[in-house]
Structure 1
């Protein structure tokens, strides 16, 4: 079977599949593991991609989500900036309602925790950008750090330690799980 994700992203998807736990901070989008098909497509709109390339990327992104519903899924703790819930996908209110409703559905999975950073929090350490830390079966940690130009996989212990400290500071600003779920449901209702 032909791989759907880009070559540069393959190492990370393998890490994701093997991970025992994923701690994901996202500033601007719903995390890929929690996206609907329509939302995934919207994130690619305007990129220099053919329709076939968009299709392959969306298929790959959706296929990655299977790890959350397999036997022994990883623990996924996602901290998301609440602005994501209210950022229009090119004016498509139904798309955003469906995405917020799906995010709420995912938040109810036993191994998924979603925590929202309230919109009124002001400046906080997460404004530096999104990242994910994967805890591997042997106890090691690997991170994926995203940027506008190029994503990178980080394995150096001192850099992982820096990201873990930043994670703790970001997580400290987030709402508890139940309040986050309530906020997600309110956002879904606001798009109707």
Structure 2
């Protein structure tokens, strides 16, 4: 899945705002053309409401520019489905992530992330480094002022996936996990191997709670992914989150297990 630096949403919003000013359009007039209320336009321009592809397409309609902003998003290298999630991640007050196969992207070291991205052998070295830089940029969300509460549940097998050629990378990754998990806004929970069957085996997913208290979900697959905003679908993801979270070890016990994994290699 291609990553996008979180400033892209702000960049697109800024360009829309400038185009509106150049056209002499008020937020109300722009909203009429785009199909949104003036208050919605104000919230998007003020970056308190997520930028969506519907809004981008509405901006193109309002300006009658032949789809300029939609093409801009495509040219800048992100699939349209992922843009709303990146903006949700950037503005979230709470983040939840379940990962049965990898360390979550927001917790990855540079070396670990590079190894994951290089699994796609169609990418050039330059593309790998570009995606790596984007992923590292996204991690600032956990250390910024008023950072969201981030809770991750990862399978124990993720920690133990360390052949001799990968052990140094994994050692650094686990040390970073323990450091981040000591932050007051970050909690890492391990789903032990002894829980052999659970609902999370169907795949990873993430949830973000927005400032207006609405939730947004995200799921990845081999061809990309999907952002979830339908109430019925969110109810299912919330239920599955509660299930995997309840099966995982408590925070302190999880940290002890994470540290034990490293010492078992020495």
* TM-score normalised per structure 1: 0.94
C-alpha distance 89-20 of structure 1, shift in aligned 2 (>3 A) = farther
Q: Identify unmatched segments of 5+ residues in structure 1.
A: none
Contact 2:189 2:248 in 1 (8 A): yes
Shift of residue 4, structure 1, vs aligned partner: 4.1
Shift of residue 138, structure 1, vs aligned partner: 0.1
The one of 146, 161, 183 aligned to 1:109: 183
Q: Larger % of helix: which?
A: 2
Indicate the larger mover: 127-136 or 38-47.
38-47
Q: Identify unmatched segments of 5+ residues in structure 2.
A: 7-76
Question: How far apart, in 1, do the equivalents of 2:112 and 2:243 lie?
Answer: 29
For the pair shown, the structure with the greater C-alpha radius of gyration is 2
SS at structure 1 position matched to 2:194: helix
Instruction: Work out the number of aligned pairs and report it.
Output: 190
Shift of residue 19, structure 1, vs aligned partner: 0.3
The one of 138, 152, 159 aligned to 2:212: 138
Q: Which has the higher contact order (CA 8 A, sep 6+)?
A: 1
Indicate the larger mover: 83-92 or 165-174.
83-92
Shift of residue 188, structure 1, vs aligned partner: 2.3
2:113 equivalent in structure 1: 40
Question: How far apart, in 2, do the equivalents of 1:94 and 1:57 lie?
Answer: 22
RMSD: 1.5
Shift of residue 20, structure 1, vs aligned partner: 0.3
Question: How far apart, in 1, do the equivalents of 2:5 and 2:240 lie?
Answer: 32
Q: Does 1:63 align with 2:134?
A: no
Shift of residue 11, structure 1, vs aligned partner: 2.7
